[in-house]
Structure 1
Amino acid sequence: MALKRAFAAATVYFLALFSLGFVLGTIRVVVVAPRVGALGATLLEMPSMLAAAFFLCRWAVRSRQVSPALRARWVMALWFLLLFALFETLLGFALFGRTLSGTWAGLGTAAGLIGLTGQIIAALLPLFVGRNAQR
């Protein structure tokens, strides 16, 4: 039951954050990046996304009553990261015709590495968020 809750929490956390990221990412690419460049736009977006990730993760953990046990939290973190990577790749292919190698190449840019770092931080938040309150 504990792992089922972790999978459910990771899924709703992912869906909420990915949806927000889709909206903010569209604004970043269409409005902000042409003015300040891809790197500047990514740096401007990152604090908002990480703050949202914190609150959405906390909400998902609480609403799905995820166990504070590290095993459940790691399941949540890894499932979130897997969903994020899968959907990011599929969305890049479907909307922009980006290949898998093109997706990987994009991660090698400064903006891509910053975005990836933010995604990894968001994925690791379940290991820390709300663990003390549930003990």
Structure 2
Amino acid sequence: MSNLPTRTIKAGIMYFALVFGTGFVLGSIRVPFLVPRLGERVAELIEMPLMFVVVLVSARFITKHFNLPANVLARLGAGFLALGLLVAAEVLLAVVLQDRTLGEFVASRDPVSGIVYLAMLALFAVMPLVLARVGSASHV
């Protein structure tokens, strides 16, 4: 298999693609069907547990598929690359497709679901490392 930096980059790109793709599909269900009935906050909060499972499964997949060692640099490298790509994609979509400025995009976030979203982003970035730590603790 390729060297570790290449595997880490490939893992980060795949991690982004899996989570962003699933989030895009869920968003295309949430926005037209749940938001009008339940409101933005409740609709986003309903989606969060599903996205948590997607993050968990995707992180587990990329760490095994790309054979990432349980070290901090490889795991956080993949996670933070994926996070950077995810944030860039979301901002790009907001600015291009929704014709918003970056400030309007940030200001439009619901204060409650927005905080949960930020926590999910942090968890998304560190999940490959968390899985390494949890995995090593279960082997003790």
2:124 maps to 1:122: yes
Larger Rg: 2
In 2, Cα distance between the equivalents of 1:96 and 1:18? 17
In the alignment, which of 85, 95, 107 is matched to residue 105 of structure 1? 107
User: What residue in structure 1 maps to residue 51 of structure 2?
Assistant: 49
- For residues 109 and 115 of structure 2, the distance between their equivalents in structure 1, rounded to whole angstroms, comes to 5
Which residue does 1:80 correspond to in 2?
Answer: 82
What are structure 1's unaligned runs of at least 5 residues?
A: none
Query: Which residue does the alignment assign to 1:66?
Result: 68
Match of 1:33 among 31, 35, 42: 35
1:91 to partner: Cα distance? 0.9
Structure 1, residues 79-111: CA drift from partner, whole Å, max 9, x if none? 111111100000111211121111222346322
2:97 partner SS: helix
| Per-residue deviation, 1:43 | 1.0
2:18 maps to what in 1?
Answer: 16
Q: What is the alpha-carbon distance in structure 2 between the residues aligned to residue 89 and residue 27 of structure 1?
A: 20
Distance in 2, matches of 1:4 and 1:107, equals: 35
Letter in 1 for 2:52: L
The 8 Å contact of residues 3 and 72 in structure 1, kept in 2 or not, is answered as yes
* Cα distance per residue 1:40-71 (max 9 Å; x no partner): 01111000110111011100111011121111
CA RMSD of the aligned region, Å? 1.7
- Tell me which moved more, 32-41 or 101-110: 101-110
TM-score (norm 1): 0.90
Using the alignment, how far apart are the partners of 1:75 and 1:125 within structure 2? 11
Is this contact kept in 1: 2:4–2:68, CA < 8 A?
Answer: yes
Paired residues in the alignment total 134
CA distance in 2, matches of 1:35, 1:119: 26
Q: Identity percentage over the alignment?
A: 31
Unaligned ranges ≥5, structure 2: none
